[in-house]
Amino acid sequence: MSFDRARANCQKLQADLVHIDNADENTFLTNHLSTLKGISFWIGLTDADREGDFKWVDDNSRISFSDWSPSQPDNGGNKEDCTHIYAKWDYKWNDLNCLTPVKYICEEKKDEKKKQNINRIKTSKNFLKLIKESFKYVLCFSLKPNCVNYTN
Beta carbon of residue 31, minimum distance to Ca ion (angstroms, whole number): 23
Could you write out the DSSP letters of every residue in 65-118? S--BPTT----GGG---EEEEEGGGTTEEEEE-TTS--EEEEEEE--GGGHHHH
Residue 76 contacts Ca ion per CB under 5 A = yes
Q: Does 4 bind Ca ion (CB under 5 A)?
A: no
Tell me phi and psi for residue 64, to 5 degrees.
-100, -20
Nearer CB in complex with Ca ion: 16/95: 95
Specify the stretch interacting with Ca ion by CB under 5 A; choose among 3-11, 19-27, 41-49, 133-141: 41-49
Q: Does 40 bind Ca ion (CB under 5 A)?
A: no
Q: In whole angstroms, what is the distance from residue 150 CA to residue 139 CA?
A: 11
For binding to Ca ion (CB under 5 A), which residues are involved?
47, 72, 74-76, 80-81, 94-95
